[in-house]
Amino acid sequence: MDKKLEPIVKSLQDKFSATFEEFRDEVHLFVKPEQIVDALTLLRDEYNFELLSALTAVDYYPQETPRFHVVYQLTSIAKNLSVQIRVPVNGSSPKVPTATHVYDVANWRERELLDMFGIEFDGHPDPRRILSPEDMEGHPLRKDFPLGYEEPQFTFNFDEIDLRKPYAKE
Amino acid sequence: MGVEQKLGNMGVVTTTLEGVVNWSRTNAMWPMLFGLACCAIEMMSAQSSSYDMSRFGMELMRASPRQSDLMIVAGRVSKKMGPVLRRLYDQMPEPKWVIAMGDCASCGGVFNNYAIFQGVDEVVPVDVFVAGCPPRPEALIHGVMTIHEKVKGESFKQYAEKYKQTT
Ligand code: SF4
């Protein structure tokens, strides 16, 4: 771990009883969903993490519970540091408080997570899908989302598939 | 287009009205550019000097559907692009034709997933499919020539029946 990161990790451990993991010099801090806004505010105001460089999620279904990790990747340009905060959440419609009032950039990224993983962000100003069409069902980046959409057409099943293919009208 | 040979020294050509109309349609077909992905690069190349589609009267790629009668769908059509494509197709004046260029536009290609239409024939009726990933400019030009053959074979009766159905 970077020397400059040690006090930061320590203070997060004290304040939020955060656990942390280290992998190839990268620090991952785990906090609870209700603490995330405070943790982000602390990091931004006290420790110069002025940039939320990535906000994404991982679905560990079915190996792990809780299945989702919401990942906040923070960068401090002033100190040349980066740290990762992870919020484990579970269930079919998990909820995390929104970070839009801490980092403006979180707005579209949270919409993307809502779209792709179905993670809801409490208090988000504009909770709509961002990439897929509005009327789409399901969340494509979930591990239990069906992979293929159409069966490939070969000579032996050509007619059968042709019958149920939704051809356009004039 | 060989008119000189037919003319001889008489100065008169006899033909049918359908023949003249279809001949003028094929030789002044204005394609709408619909470059959606990598296939668009080959479509541009088919327009450029070494392949030069303007030999067939197609040097004008229109950006507006109201000025075009051929839609070349070059690339994969995402689920969000589908309604847009259909809307542009509906804005094109009749008669109109569609070429699905490339594997993606024809059948989904390598993208068998939730985000891409498995063939643009789910959105608009397609006249000619051009295979390849991407098809070479020659293949696209061959597709266009196939459309021309189709147009030359069309008759006013067919149009009349088509409009009876749609209206
Ligand atoms: S057919 Fe190939 S080149 Fe054309 S859009 Fe699809 S992937 Fe790209």
Distance in angstroms (rounded) separating the CA atoms of residues A4 and A80: 9
- pLDDT at residue A57 in the model: 92
- pLDDT at residue B29 in the model: 85
- pLDDT at residue A145 in the model: 84
Among A167, A131, A135, CA closest to B107: A167
Among B15, B27, B20, B22, CA closest to B158: B22
Q: Assess: ipTM above 0.85.
A: no
Domain ranges of chain B: 29-159
Which of B114, B162, B166 is the best residue to mutate to test the A interface, defined by the most A CB atoms within 10 Å of its own CB? B114
Q: Predicted confidence band at B2 (pLDDT cuts at 50, 70, 90)? A: low
Among A104, A161, A107, CA closest to A130: A107
Domains of chain A from N-terminus onward:
6-160 (3.30.460.80)
Distance in angstroms (rounded) separating the CA atoms of residues A108 and A125: 10
Residues of B with Cβ-Cβ distance to A167 under 8 angstroms? 121-122, 125
Q: Which DSSP category does B78 fall into?
A: B
- Which chain A residue shows the shortest CA-CA distance from B124? A168
Distance in angstroms (rounded) separating the CA atoms of residues A99 and A33: 11
Q: What is the dihedral of CA A2, A110, B112, B143, to 10 degrees?
A: -110
Provide the token pair at B74: 């070059």
| Cβ contact A27:A9 at 8 Å | yes
- pLDDT at residue A85 in the model: 92
Distance in angstroms (rounded) separating the CA atoms of residues A145 and A132: 14
A80 Cβ contact partners less than 8 Å away, ≥ 6 residues apart: none
Interstrand relation of A68-76 and A81-89 (parallel, antiparallel or unpaired): antiparallel
A58 Cβ contact partners less than 8 Å away, ≥ 6 residues apart: A68, A69, A71
CA end-to-end span of chain A: 64
Q: Which DSSP category does A168 fall into?
A: P
- pLDDT at residue B152 in the model: 86
CATH match for B29-159 among 1.10.260.40, 3.80.30.20, 3.40.50.800, 3.40.50.12280 = 3.40.50.12280
The residue whose two tokens read 């709509």 is A128
Dihedral sign of CA atoms A135, A139, A145, A147 in order:
positive
Distance in angstroms (rounded) separating the CA atoms of residues B99 and B120: 10
Assess whether pLDDT exceeds 70 at residue B167. Answer: no
> DSSP 3-state assignment of A12?
helix
Q: Which residues of B, range 77-136, sit inside 8 Å of A by Cβ?
A: 79-80, 86, 107-108, 112-116, 118-119, 121-125
Distance in angstroms (rounded) separating the CA atoms of residues A114 and A95: 10
Give residue B76 CA to ligand 1 midpoint distance, Å. 7
Classify burial at B7, counting beta carbons within 10 Å of its beta carbon; exposed 0-12, middle 13-18, buried 19 or more: exposed
The residue whose two tokens read 């929104």 is A98
Give residue B119 CA to ligand 1 midpoint distance, Å. 12
Mean pLDDT, range B90-117, rounded to an integer? 87
Assess whether pLDDT exceeds 90 at residue B18. Answer: no
Provide the token pair at A9: 């990790």
Per cent of chain A over pLDDT 70 is: 98
- pLDDT at residue A87 in the model: 92
Mean pLDDT, range B33-52, rounded to an integer? 86
Mean pLDDT, range A139-154, rounded to an integer? 79
Q: Which DSSP category does B75 fall into?
A: S
> DSSP 3-state assignment of A68?
strand
Give residue B78 CA to ligand 1 midpoint distance, Å. 13
Q: Which atom of ligand 1 is nearest to the CA of B37?
A: 5
A159 Cβ contact partners less than 8 Å away, ≥ 6 residues apart: none
A141 vs B11, higher pLDDT: A141
One-letter-per-residue 3-state SS of B57-72: CCCCCECCHHHCCEEE
